[in-house]
Amino acid sequence: MSLNQSQFNKSRLDKFLMVINLPDPLKGINTTDLSVHTDNKINENSLQFSVYGAVIPNIAVPEITEQYAGQSFKISSHTRPPYENVSVNFTVDSRFNNYWVLYKWLDLLNNDKLSVFDSDDLSKTPAIATSNRNKVKSPNPASLYQADITLYAKDEYDENVVKFIYTNAFPVNLGGINFNYRTEGEIETTFEFAFSQLLVELL
């Protein structure tokens, strides 16, 4: 028995777009001028790129076993274990803007020269200080280096169909770069980030 089927259902062209928000200290040195290329500035807009790899971790609410009358019964633990870190493959842009933002984020966590957190005192800029004063509660110190990361899954029409929100995320690893001028193609590398919660929304 043959069924009439849309050609779009035969070969799916799924893709993912990752949009990375930045913590407040890094937003203070953000610039929208793509021509600016300096150690003291970053371009947040460069962190919207297509990614591939293990971008969605396993989601688990494990069971526990209870004994009753010589039998074993399984019930839900009603808890979620910590999520595994997510490793993302991406293409480095021609001006290394996306690589540089991730590098500066890691440098905020531990400076490459002084080996301390926020050696440039980015978290003490006037704009961030004002933002913190306007909050009802004192800010969590972790919020100075954490931010949400959003992953959009697109359908064959290039429309967003679902989004995955990784809350309180921060990078833990920026992969190396292997390059061979004899090989065609763009430079690719990876970065890995940790996060607290994974929220899923249909669009």
Q: What is the pTM of this model?
A: 0.81
- CATH number assigned to the domain covering 12-54+72-202: 2.30.110
> Which pLDDT score, from 0 to 100, does residue 97 have?
87
Confidence band of 128 (pLDDT split at 50, 70, 90): low
Which amino acid appears at position 86 of this protein?
Answer: V
Residue 106: per-residue pLDDT: 94
Q: pLDDT by residue (tens digit) across 15-58? A: 888 888 899 888 888 887 767 777 888 888 888 777 777 788 89
pLDDT at 157 over 70: yes
Q: What is the pLDDT of residue 127?
A: 54
Cα(97)–Cα(124) distance, integer angstroms: 24
- CA–CA separation, 185 vs 172, rounded Å? 27
Supply the pLDDT for residue 39.
82
Domain boundaries, the chain: 12-54+72-202
